[in-house]
Every structure is written in structure tokens, then in C-alpha cells.
Chains A and B, each alone.
Chain A
């Protein structure tokens, strides 16, 4: 068996290798001084890294962090419901429908499909006046159709 790479040795050290592979590697390491050194070195590395845990946390550090509370505004709770995807999608749909309905209503108010007789008479009076000045307005669409029907 070839000497394993360091990642495999590290996995072996953590007992993460599946059994057939682990047994083969154990047999190899037992007879391979190079792998024994590498394994021992990995163990030392982990020990040395654990020593880096030592860290000074003074009373000043603690006071400085606790003072953050007074120097920043009170925390606000987010409404958790709005963070769920389904609720977000539902909200987006509701907003889209509302926007669509509002737009359609505004369009209907501006360009009504049919006019009440009183409104129509009022429009017609104005229209005749402006038409006499500027000619037919192509943008009036449905109104022109109804004017033509009256004529």
C-alpha cells in the first residue's frame, strides 16, 4: 500500500475512515516509519492548535461590550411570519393583484368602456367644441365609436 496523503491520515486519526480502509491503513502505518511520524506530527499539530485557545478577556473587554447596549438603539423583533417563504409569496401575490386591480380601475375611470347618458352628453358637448377646433382625437378610442354611433 502506498503512503496515504495527509488528509486521509487526518481522517484516519479522527476514526472517520470506513472499516476496510481503516484496517488496511492501520496495518500500513504500523510498518511505515514515515506515516508514523506524519501521524504523530498531526497529533502534535492538533495539540498545539488547542493551546491557541488561551485568550485574555479582561474586565475592560467585558465592560466595553456591555456598553454596546447603551450606545445602540433597543433591538427590534422582526415578525417571524414575514420571513417564511410561503408567506412572502402570498404577500407578493396579494400586492400584485392589488396593483393590477388599482391600475385597471384607474384605466376604466380614464377610458370607460361605456358612459352613462349624462356623462356622455357632457363629453359630447365638450368633444364637439374641441373637434370643431382641432379635428377628431384618435386617442379617444371608445368615445369616438360612441360619438359615431350617435351621429
Chain B
């Protein structure tokens, strides 16, 4: 029930894939890193892009290519987290990844070394807190609050109603705020 794509079509898919890697690679890597953590991010990202490549030939322009690539990536992350949960493996890490050093604090937080250190500590608490959220809540926060996608795009990527996105987002924010209060020692500035 499958047909082999002719050579010129395969070359076209290859070019399309490389363009997708260039244009969306950074954002999709960030999604994967926030969803599964930095330790497993490379492997999961590779799996996601492999699925994107395999699915490119069947992709129909019912949605944007980037939205579809997000959907594939998030689904790969959720499947990975599901496998992890089933095998009762524990995701436990809290290490300063190289990329975290590139997070530039903005505004007031950027002014003093103490504020920079505090900001970094807060971002670590948030990173860790994010990884402790249930995967469905985590996905909404990653897409909406971190990636800055619209509610509509988030709903389309996760294939859930708009109301579900809103409700999950508010639940996730409430949970994250509690985590910050408990571990960072007070209200956010």
C-alpha cells in the first residue's frame, strides 16, 4: 500500500527537509529539551526529525509545515515520556546545561551580579519544575509560554480543543508558581 517516490521527488523532499532543519531546528530542539530534559534531548530530537523526514512525503498542506513539524515533535516527546513512565524510569536531573549559560537576563535582573545569579537560580527551578509537570500540562506550557505560540496553534499541534489548552495552561502555571514558591523561597519578583 505504499509507492516509492521517484528520485527527483526524493531529492525535493531532501531539500525541503534540510530547509525545515535550518528554519525550525532551533525551536524544535528547545521544545524537546523542555519536554524531556537536556540529557535525552539529542536522541529524542533525532527521532522526531527522522519521523518528520519519513512523514514529509505524506504531508498534505492542511496545516503549516512548521505546525505539523511541531505536532510530530511533541508526539515523539509524549511517546518517549509515556515509555519512560511505563518502565518506571525516573527522570532526575538538575544540571547546568551549556545552553542555560546563554540565557540572558533582561531588565532589572540584568543589572547586578547578584540579580544575575538569582535569575539563573530561578530559571533552574523553573526548568526542573517544568519537568515535574504531567506531560500534557508541560506540553502546553512549552508551546504557549516558552515558544510563544498562539492558543489556536497550540490547540492544533496538540489536537485538543481550545478550552482544554486554556485550562491546562492555567493549571500548569498554578503548579509552577507553587513549585517556585516552595523551592526558590518566595514570590516571583
Contact = CB atoms under 8 A, between A and B. Distances in A.
B102 A52 contact: no
Secondary structure type dominating chain A contacts: helix
B126 A49 contact: yes
Nearest to A76: B2
Interface residues of B, number: 60
Interface string B137-153: 00001000111100000
A78 B4 CA distance: 9
B124 to A, nearest CB: 10
B29 A57 contact: yes
Secondary structure type dominating chain B contacts: helix
B159 interface: no
A62 B106 contact: no
A120 B11 CA distance: 66
B129 to A, nearest CB: 10
A105 interface: no
A34 to B, nearest CB: 10
B5 to A, nearest CB: 6
Given A10-B173, A42-B177, A50-B148, A75 B18 contact: no
B90 interface: no
Contacts of A19: none
Interface string A37-75: 110111011101111111111000110111011001011
B126 A65 contact: no
A76 B21 contact: no
Contacts of A11: 166, 170
Contacts of B13: 74-75
Interface of B: 1-5, 10, 13-14, 17-18, 21-22, 25-27, 29-30, 33-34, 45-46, 49-50, 53-58, 60, 98-99, 102-106, 122-123, 126-127, 130, 141, 145-148, 166-167, 169-171, 173-174, 176-177, 180, 187-189
